[in-house]
Amino acid sequence: MDTEILVEVERNGFVESRHRGSVVVLGADGAVLHQAGDIESPILPRSCMKPLQATGMVRAGLSLAPEPLALACASHSGEERHAALAAKMLADGGLCPADLQCTPDLPLDRDTRHEYLRAGGMPSVLHANCSGKHAAMCLTTRRCGWRLDNYLDLAHPLQQGLIATAEQLSGERISTVTIDGCGAPAFALSLTGLARAYATIASGADDATRSVAAAMRTHPWAVGGEGRPVTRLMREIPGLIAKDGADGVAAAALADGRTVAVKVEDGDLGGRALFRVLSAGLRFLGVDAPVVGDLGVAPIFGGGRPVGVVRSVPC
């Protein structure tokens, strides 16, 4: 991919690091209002695909209340209420944690993880950040009468249906399928295709997309967790849906279909760049909520005091 400098790290007035990537901003009519870098080559949206997958499951017959449906879209922090909600989803459908084929893990959030370990916690499928998605996959499989023990296989009717949904929402053919960290298939889309899919979900093209968008907006804590950027954005910007994914991907869409999608080339493993760029895209769209300013700049410290900033290169 051809990428551009999206974020600069400044220390005492000296730019010491830069993050490159791509970003696309769509208007309400779907037109590209702004772009930087390659927005047409395939990327792996990773967990940004979860709202698309949840839409596919609802279309297949999954029926969930808004709160567990939001968890199906989540890369949650692993708070106890996240784990409890995943367990309840399974129990209500006559299933149990042993039915989940996601990798057992510790809570994603650092403070939550430390507290969990101090209490003697061990890696658990329920505390894994993808447990809501896997619970929804199991429930959809049971609802449709398909085999449960191989629900992650690419040839399984569940996964084939989710591919078809992703293609319909994005307007693209999925040419590459890999395996995500949780063991589920991970599909490749262009950044523009991802943005179009989010615009379709946020604007409520049908009952399934309206249900998914409403669930995310009503229960943003379930999609992320306390203090998480996606949760803050959805709480503080009316009508927004937002989701991040591993290795530096995020997308956010307003109810009228205006959308921002970002890919940070280096994977943003330190977490410095992604939400600086997403915030810049929202500002470009005229969103002036305080959370956009808060997430748009991050401090750099020296000797325990701020000496610089991480900031986006202006759109």
CATH code of the domain containing 115: 3.40.710
Burial class (CB in 10 A: 0-12, 13-18, 19+), 65: exposed
**pTM of the predicted model over 0.85:** yes
How high is the pLDDT of residue 7? 97
How high is the pLDDT of residue 1? 73
How high is the pLDDT of residue 286? 96
Residue with tokens 């000496």: 307
Q: How many domains does the chain have?
A: 1
How high is the pLDDT of residue 175? 86
Q: What is the DSSP letter of 48?
A: G
How high is the pLDDT of residue 89? 98
* Long-range pairs of 163-170 with CB within 8 A, sequence gap ≥ 24: 163/187, 164/56, 165/52, 165/53, 165/55, 165/56, 165/59, 166/49, 166/52, 166/53, 166/56, 166/197, 169/52, 169/55, 169/196, 169/197, 169/200, 169/201, 169/209, 170/52, 170/194, 170/196, 170/197
How high is the pLDDT of residue 108? 94
The ranges of the chain with pLDDT < 70 are: 315
d(CA 136, CA 139): 5
How high is the pLDDT of residue 315? 56
Q: Can you give the residue range of the structural domain that contains 292? A: 4-312
